[in-house]
């Protein structure tokens, strides 16, 4: 693909930048500190994007999306990040949407996709279980068919924004015959269904992102099955390819690195320090390589190809880079970077750097641990 930006791309960038500067939520000015924004701010932001027609920014037009090219999508996400605007909750737009386009029935597409694109339905993901994280195929949550419904019993864990969600897409076990991957199915479950309990998990950054979700005799209509029974593992791998591409977070890394460079440039002691310049240059080189790989992946996806093993590579390098940037922020920020979610005056890049550093220890684990991703690359690319 051509990495040069055309005049049309430059005009598109100018349009997106102007809109973001005018519309990014001002109460998300924790942008430079990495502070988490609240439910009301997040929902209002996504409604604003939906009214502009930009919430389903990665979807083709036929399903209510923007139909943007890979380059336009990269420009949009970069300008969104540089404006300090929140990222979009990924579960509906980035994960379930592509799954329904590929595996859903016409009825399911017509029922769910418009609501996702218009920010009228909030989703979460029910994959991991106690003892079934990296070894996801060992999951035990059971869905037994009884006539025109499934009865679901089990537990999910690390359910991001499960306390906000109205619906959850779940991997469930519908059979114990054969290989463990063959008995998994993909169900859509209304979170208001009797028998569902959500319990909070507080993370090291002091926020409530995660939850445990318990299912006790939860009745789910059979028409909420996506694909065929036993096809859940295939669907799960397809979805995870899209998730891992997003976890690379190229736009957000560009934002953090840009603000770090600006902070160093303002610091008399650091701006000419060769160690600081070397550390930032190393991050810039790694980020440029990641960005080009991401663009190639987006271009392939825009031509109808599902994310391949490159999504595992993006996940590995993207999360390692996120961690590396926070390490340099702590290293160069010194005492200014030590407070925990500090609201005191000082360089905004370094405020709460400690919080970001600790929370992002998890990014190499969620979405499939980086060790598992290396095994995927070894198997698919090398044949080991």
Catalytic residues: 243
| Cβ(318)–Cβ(293) below 8 Å | no
Kindly report each contact of residues 5-11 with a partner whose C-beta sits within 8 Å and lies 24 or more positions away, as own/partner.
Answer: 5/71, 5/75, 9/71, 9/72, 9/75
16: three-class secondary structure by DSSP: helix
Residue 39 makes CB contacts below 8 A (sequence gap 6+) with 164
Number of H helices, E strands in the chain: 12, 8
Do you know the residue count of the chain? Answer: 384
Identify the CA nearest to 207 among candidates 146, 243, 160, 166: 160
Residue owning tokens 């279980």: 129
Residue 329 has φ and ψ, to the nearest 5°, of -60, -45
Q: In this structure, are residues 359 and 209 in contact, taking their beta carbons and an 8 Å threshold?
A: no
Calpha distance 8→10 (Å, rounded):
5
Q: What are phi and psi of 306, to 5 degrees?
A: -75, 150
**SS3 per residue for 58-78:** CCCHHHCCCCCCHHHHHHHHH
> Is the Cβ–Cβ distance between 195 and 218 less than 8 Å?
yes
Burial class (CB in 10 A: 0-12, 13-18, 19+), 330: middle
State whether the Cα torsion 36-41-46-52 is positive or negative.
negative
């Amino acid at each position: 693909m051509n990495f040069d930006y055309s005049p049309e791309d430059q005009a598109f960038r100018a349009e997106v930048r102007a809109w973001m500067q005018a519309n990014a939520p001002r109460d998300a000015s924790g942008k430079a500190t990495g502070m988490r924004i609240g439910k009301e701010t997040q929902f209002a932001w996504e409604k604003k994007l939906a009214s502009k027609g930009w919430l389903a920014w990665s979807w083709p037009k036929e399903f209510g999306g923007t139909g943007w090219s890979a380059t336009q999508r990269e420009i949009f996400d970069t300008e969104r990040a540089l404006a300090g605007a929140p990222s979009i909750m990924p579960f509906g737009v980035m994960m379930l949407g592509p799954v329904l386009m590929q595996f859903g029935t016409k009825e399911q597409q017509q029922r769910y996709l418009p609501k996702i694109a218009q920010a009228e339905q909030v989703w979460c993901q029910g994959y991991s279980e106690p003892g079934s994280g990296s070894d996801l195929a060992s999951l035990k949550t059971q869905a037994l068919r009884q006539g025109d419904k499934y009865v679901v019993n089990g537990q999910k864990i690390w359910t991001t924004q499960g306390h906000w969600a109205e619906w959850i897409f779940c991997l469930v076990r519908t059979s114990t015959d054969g290989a463990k991957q063959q008995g998994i199915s993909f169900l859509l479950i209304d979170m208001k269904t009797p028998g569902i309990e959500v319990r909070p998990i507080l993370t090291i950054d002091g926020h409530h992102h995660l939850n445990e979700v318990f299912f006790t005799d939860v009745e789910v209509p059979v028409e909420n099955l996506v694909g065929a029974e036993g096809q859940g593992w295939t669907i799960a791998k397809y979805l995870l390819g899209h998730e891992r591409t997003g976890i690379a977070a190229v736009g957000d890394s560009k934002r953090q690195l840009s603000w770090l460079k600006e902070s160093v440039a303002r610091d008399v002691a650091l701006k000419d320090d060769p160690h600081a310049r070397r550390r930032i240059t190393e991050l810039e080189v790694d980020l440029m390589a990641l960005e080009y790989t991401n663009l190639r992946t987006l271009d392939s996806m825009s031509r109808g190809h599902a994310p391949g093993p490159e999504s595992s590579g993006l996940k590995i390098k993207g999360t390692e880079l996120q961690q590396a940037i926070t390490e340099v922020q702590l290293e160069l920020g010194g005492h200014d970077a030590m407070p925990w979610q500090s609201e005191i005056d000082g360089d905004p890049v370094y405020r709460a750097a400690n919080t970001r550093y600790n929370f992002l220890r998890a990014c190499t684990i969620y979405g499939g641990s980086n060790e598992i991703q290396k095994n995927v690359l070894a198997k698919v690319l090398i044949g080991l």
